[in-house]
Structure 1
Amino acid sequence: MYKIVIADDEDNVREGIRESLNWDELGFGVVGVFENGREVIQAMEQLQPDVVLTDINMPFMDGLEVSRYLFEHYPHTKIIILTGYDEFEYAQEALKLKVHDYILKPNTADELHEILSKVKADLDDENRKVEDLSKLKQQLRESLPLVRERFLNQLVTGNIRGGKLEDKLAYLDIDLSLSRSHYVVAVIDVDDHGELQRFYPESESELLYFAVCNISLEIIAREKNGIVFQNNSEKTIVILYGENVETLREEALRILEEINLSVKEYLRFTVSIGVGDICTSLNKIHLSHKRASTALEYRFFLGKNRIIHISDIEGELDESIPYDKLWERKLVLGLKSGTQHEIEVIVENIIKNLKESYLPMDRCYIHIQQIIVSIMDALEELDIREALHNSAALSPLTVIYGLKTLDEVEVWLKSYCSRTTNIILETRNNFCKMQAMKAEEYIKENYADTKISMDAVCKYLVLSTSYFSLIFKNHTGETFISYLTRIRVEKSKELLKCTDLKTYEIADRVGYTDPHYFNLIFKKAMGMTPTEYRRMM
């Protein structure tokens, strides 16, 4: 329901208008009826009408003066002029004052009804626009933090398009005045993403990343010299500003150290912080951010829980040592024939060399992958088909990307090499055992052959005599000759006990062509001659 006031110095006109229309049906409520313009002006503040229907010719203050006052002080109020003057100058003046409509006296109720219906439609349309605008403003207020964060991410990545930067900062209420002379960006990242995801549900781990940002925000808000937000990778970005380089550098170090210690104290985990170069223009802030991100990558070499300044790193790069691929070949040889300790020493030297090389992080990952591929090739050469991981597990070639530092890579690579060594050793042991068992079977089937020899067994097994001697002794605890002699003596004992064969015949049956030599071998093994042994049976 809209509010309307009526102003006319003639009683019959005022009452006629008031009584001739169904105001509820029109959507209006008459909140005031006045004799002159002065009374209208005096009632405006209290009544706040939406429409003023006023005669032009009234005492004290006429309708045009009322319209002029409303135009200046209540511009949203609709004015309808009611007059008996059909004069051009009145219509012209009314248009200047943005009078909504102009009605000549005398008029009918239908004419007033039609005009007021149009006014109501216009009011409805304006209210819808105001309501839509209010909704948009509310949505903007609700989404402003997201819009602000998106803008800041574009700012630090150099993706701001068009428009004045100062205007955008002001519109989003971002306290980064272009008048400040020095800026620096720091990128804060949680060190153990994997550990957090293992111990906390995904929703809670996201809250922990936000907690890092919130701690940083509280510290920066207290200092009043920067802003804080999160990027799309849940890293916390800090932009600090100051009047000169030295002061800003000192303040940045103090604040970032406080953030680092506060996270460790309150959240019970650590973060690493990369710090970029100080720049002299907000338009170059993306360069500082890029350098801060690069500095953070050196956590891979330096370890966790550190504040890493890109300017400090560049001094160390001048003293870097080239990576030596010879260590990869040494590792593969060590896996095939070295001890666990020797392998661990080689891994330590590989990691030490990578740290000293200061290669880009992606290059380091490639070198580690090459080591893994070399180990896989070595297993393939040894005809070991069993992989170190099942099909459901992640490939070691991708697992390494979850390792944040070379220290973590060292621990993982030692474990991987240890498992590889165990597989090689187990496979070799199985192979040796199988070969020794084949040799035993061959000997038991061919002991009666006078031409049987270690060379013959090795030829059968396709093994060298030295290697065969080693694995056979390890498996049986006896040399080839000792084992063959024992089998022949055992068989001769059975023949002495169960047959009436002569000694020389038994000697021939168990592979001895010389009965005398057989007697010596038997007596050495049993402490008596074959004849004496038969008598005892």
Structure 2
Amino acid sequence: MYNILMLDDDQMMIETISPLLLHSGLNIQHIFSANTFSQGLDYIRDYDIDLLITDLEVEGLDRIYDMQQVKMINPSIEIIVVSAHNTFEYAQAAIRLGVKNYLIKPLDLELFVDSVREVLLHSTISRPVIEHVNWSHCNHFQMQRHPIQKHIKLNQLFASNGYVPQEESEYRSLGLQGPYYAMIKIQYQPLTANQMTLTVEDQYLLNYAVMNLAVELVHNQWNSITFETDECEINMIIQWDETSYLQGWHHKIRQLNQLGQLLHSHIDHYLHIPNVIGISQILKGYEFINQLNIQAHQALMWHTQYPDHHVFYYGNMHWKKHEWIEVSESKEGKNTYNLIVSQVKAYIEKCYGQKGLTIHDVAKKNHVSPNYLSYLFKKTTGFNLWEYVIKLRMEESRNLLLETDLRRYEVAERVGYESPEHFSKIFKRYYGISPSEFKQLQA
């Protein structure tokens, strides 16, 4: 389990980011926060911190050079810098000092959470090493296709607005036990004489051939579920329980890449079919099942940019150019995104006054992951999702202060805040004056 320290004097930033990280699919034990560099060093000395996320403007921090002091206390700690300084010199110096990523404020929350995932998944913190994986073929076996109803449900599960089981038992009935999951997506291009369209029977047999090869390759080596999408595409879900994941967890990404390379080469060599492999990150929890599909699909899109490569891991690609976003967003896809955002806005406008409301709650109600929802919402509306919630809450609280005699704590309750003090702090940050000062101006 991971311990994260957030070093930033912007409390609103910490309050926005912490829930995202806790619901990111990573096995996070605790998120600590500090407002000064000296407080941060105390946490690093007293706790086993895996990742430090730090602003450069924190009190007592001598820019990025104090990172050396952090590394002396805990040599294995990973560091992500978030900064308003968009200069090459700062970023270059940060990389020289072992900083894993240098992100510019205001943060793109989707990219930020993916960066945290990638740093932690690739960290070199000492853990038990997994036994060597034997990639040789196993004894011959007969693959059984999924019953048609299971096949349909598996496909519906990964649709953008498809089937969402309400009970854990429904996931288990599909073979999904986890709690850690990754997806490998195999996309192939059948070669037919004179570019003739494949018959339904031909497509059926071709899917079976690719699936059979894929399943045989992982048989007795991985806990996996493989199913077809009827679109020259095969999905493979790799899953781990707690024990097997923690045994050599930091080798899992490398092994997924090895498996991707083997899948590509075997399909190419034995079936003579051009194919591309997309690999997702490893995420924890049923609620991120659909996110795996999105990541694997986006990894595949990089083949349009790099046609000489055939195996793409989402975590490697996401930090370079982002043309794949535009490539992958067809008119139909954009309509779907707009529909999701419209539904989310309607839900927020109805429920923003609900106490304890989180981005995770909003995402779950609308059947998408929190990180993907944050990305879609910002891209479509220009607002960060939680900024939109605060906007609605502040506008309503202003109206209540103007038009009613409600006390501060009553207004706070009406707009979803447990603490009147926290409400006052947000109100003053938003309007520049406190609720009581605002009330006095209207008298």
The TM tier, using the shorter chain, reads 0.3 to 0.5
> Relative contact order (alpha carbons < 8 A, sep ≥ 6): 1 or 2 greater?
2
Higher helix share: 1
What is the TM-score when the length of structure 1 is the normalising length? 0.30
